Amino acid sequence: MTEKDAFFEPEEVDRQIERVSQSKEGDQRDAEVLAYLHSFYQADETREQETLDRIWNRIAGATVFEHDTQASEEDLPMQQYPHIQPAAGAMGDSRGSRPRRSPLVQRLVLLAAAVLLIALVGSMTLVFYAARHGSTGSPQSTAASTTHAPLKVTSVTMSVTPGSIAGVSCGTNMTVTYTALFHVRPDSAGGTVQFAYTVNNGRSQTPANITFNPGETAKAYTFTWHGALPLDHTYPGPGGVQVSSPNQLTSALVAPTGQCTSAAFQVTKTDMTVSPASIQGLACGTSIVVTYTATIHVAPTGPGGTVKFNYTLNNGRGQTPASVTFNPGETTKTYAFTWSGALPVDHTYPEPGGIQVTSPNQLTSSLVGPTGQCTSSSAFQVTKVDITVNPQSIQGRACGTSVVVTYTATIYVAANSPGGTVQFSYTVNNGRSQNPASIVFSPGQTVRTYTFTWSGVLPADHTYPGPGGIQVSSPNQLTSPLVAPTGTCK
């Protein structure tokens, strides 16, 4: 309570009057108060005296009050108030007339009555003030005493941006924003709204929440989908929210109107590569595998389909049909085909290869093949024959001793030859007799060996072991030198 609102209680007024009436003579502070009151009321002494006389006359009319007053006066020693003189005739008839009081006492009684009146009026004013302000109340007390309703979602309004994707090419990257505006009932206590949102017509959901302060009635929540617009139009799908707490509520689903536009399915370009890129330095007749790779490009954002074509690996003299399938949105695929074999001397293979598209549109690729040519091989022929013998000597051995003598012929043919069979005959007795034989060379082989033997008892006439060697008859003619162990038996 502020200072201007402080009111005197009746009990406080009585205590103050009692304290003043019991003040002793010589108390400087009380004397000053009494002097001030005397001077304040001196001008109206006559009028106040008459007023007091009327008050006392009416009080004296009440027997009970008079008895109490007299009893109180008898108990009050007069010597405590030497400055108050009794009125004339007051002692003559104490019961028939009222006591005569001094002007100071009269003023004190009047002051007490005035103070009491002020206290009563102030108390009534306080009551009316409290009643008036209690009925209106302050904003803070009203807010504190207001009872909030429980949180409840009443509706959810959905919107989406952009509103349409009609005319946008499929494959275009795009961000779609969904906005859910939650409405709760007024004067709610606030709290958290639990929900799940979807961007694909409910096929999948993502949990989320939003918090309301007390008294809030609406709040927005945004969620997005981002990606390339697919040809199958599965995204962006209808989006919305499903409230699970504090109550259950499902919003309407919204999505951009229209569909993205797909390009026509057609082949726009083909690229050709070959491996190995070159056969330069390889010998003709060498076995090799040549791989051709076609990279086929179709228009972006196409709906997909099958590309039909023919490929060749002999400069178009022959073709083989083939096909490759594109999924929606795919733009590039590769197809590989091969040739394998021995590099021919006439250089007909490997030749330029490529493809010729026949559907969904017509397009012919460039032709590619390994650069260079294989090295032409020499004619298959024997160029040289070397002969060795083991043991190299029979010197010191006794005639009649059994022995095995091994002759080895090393046959050389031309480098880079296509290979073939070498036919020859060999001898172990200086050509007096010959035995036919042969040996096969693979393409590119240049050297092979052939062994033949003589075994027996060393004869005393030294006819064996005789000089041995070979005589080539095919593919060309060539005679090797003759070799034999040195020395003779004893």
* Alpha-carbon distances, residue 416 vs 207, 341, 410 (angstroms): 77, 17, 18
Q: Kindly report, residue by residue over 213-258, the tens digit of the pLDDT.
A: 999 999 999 999 999 888 888 899 999 999 999 999 999 999 999 9
Integer angstrom CA distances of residue 34 from 44, 45, 102, 111, 289: 16, 15, 13, 12, 139
Cα(317)–Cα(294) distance, rounded to whole angstroms?
Answer: 18
Backbone conformation region of residue 260, classed left if phi is above 0, alpha if psi is from -120 to 50, else beta: beta
Q: Residue 442 pLDDT > 60, yes or no?
A: yes
Q: Give the mean model confidence (pLDDT) for residues 254-263.
A: 89
Query: Distances in Å between the alpha carbon of 296 and those of 62, 321, 363?
Result: 130, 15, 10
| Nearest residue to 465 via CA among 454, 481, 449 | 454
Long-range contacts of 69-75, Cβ-Cβ distance < 8 Å, separation of 24 or more: 69/99, 70/94, 70/95, 70/99, 73/99
| Strand ranges in 299-353 using DSSP code E only, listed in sequence order | 305-312, 320-326, 332-342
Helices (H), 43-179: 45-60, 63-75, 103-136, 139-145
Which tokens hold the place of 174? 């795009």
pLDDT of 19 reads 67
Q: What pLDDT, on a 0 to 100 scale, did the predictor assign at position 198? A: 96
* 341 touches 313 (CB < 8 A): no
Centre a 10 Å sphere on the Cβ of residue 490 and count the other Cβ atoms it contains.
13
Mean pLDDT (the chain, rounded): 81
Structural domains present in the chain:
3-131 (no CATH), 153-250 (2.60.40), 267-364 (2.60.40), 382-479 (2.60.40)
Span 93-113, average pLDDT: 62
Percent of the chain with pLDDT over 70: 73
pLDDT band at 133 (very low <50, low <70, confident <90, very high): low
Tokens 């709610």, residue located: 188
Of 118, 111, 69, 77, nearest to 94 (Cα)?
69
* Per-residue exposure over 310-329, b if at least 16 CB sit within 10 Å of its own CB, e if not: bbbbeeeeeeeeeeeebebb
Whether the predicted pLDDT of 421 surpasses 60? yes
Least confident residue range of 4-18, 150-164, 217-231 = 4-18
Q: Which residues pair with 283 in a beta bridge?
A: 375
Structural contact between residues 400 and 460, judged by C-beta atoms closer than 8 angstroms: yes
- Through-space distance between the first and last CA atoms of the chain, rounded to whole angstroms: 158
Nearest 5°: CA angle at 400, between 394 and 405?
A: 40
The pLDDT of residue 46 is 57
Q: Which two tokens stand for residue 290?
A: 């040549």
Residue with tokens 């999948």: 204
Rounded to an integer, what distance in angstroms lies between the CA atom of residue 160 and that of residue 166?
A: 14
Indicate whether 422 pLDDT > 90.
Answer: yes
Residues 6 or more apart whose CB falls under 8 angstroms from that of 207 comprise 194, 195, 196
How confident is the model at residue 37, as a pLDDT?
A: 57
* Tens digits of residue pLDDT in 45-65: 556 566 667 666 766 655 444
- CA dist., res. 269 & res. 416, Å (int): 42
pLDDT at 444: 76
Interacting residues of 477 by C-beta distance below 8 A, sequence separation 6+: 471
Environment class of 370 (CB within 10 Å of its CB; exposed 0-12, middle 13-18, buried 19+): buried
Angle at 139 between CA 134 and CA 141, to 5 degrees: 55
Predicted confidence (pLDDT) per residue in 314-327, tens digit? 998 999 999 999 99
Contacts of 436 (CB under 8 A, 6+ apart): 423, 424, 425
Residue 7: is its pLDDT beyond 80?
Answer: no
Q: What's this model's pTM, rounded to 2 decimal places?
A: 0.38
Alpha helices (H) along 273-406: none
pLDDT in tens, 378-394: 788 999 999 999 999 99
Residue 189 exposure: Cα atoms within 13 Å on the Cβ side? 9
**Residue 411: its H or E element:** strand 402-413
Q: How many residues does the chain have?
A: 490
337 DSSP 8-state letter: E
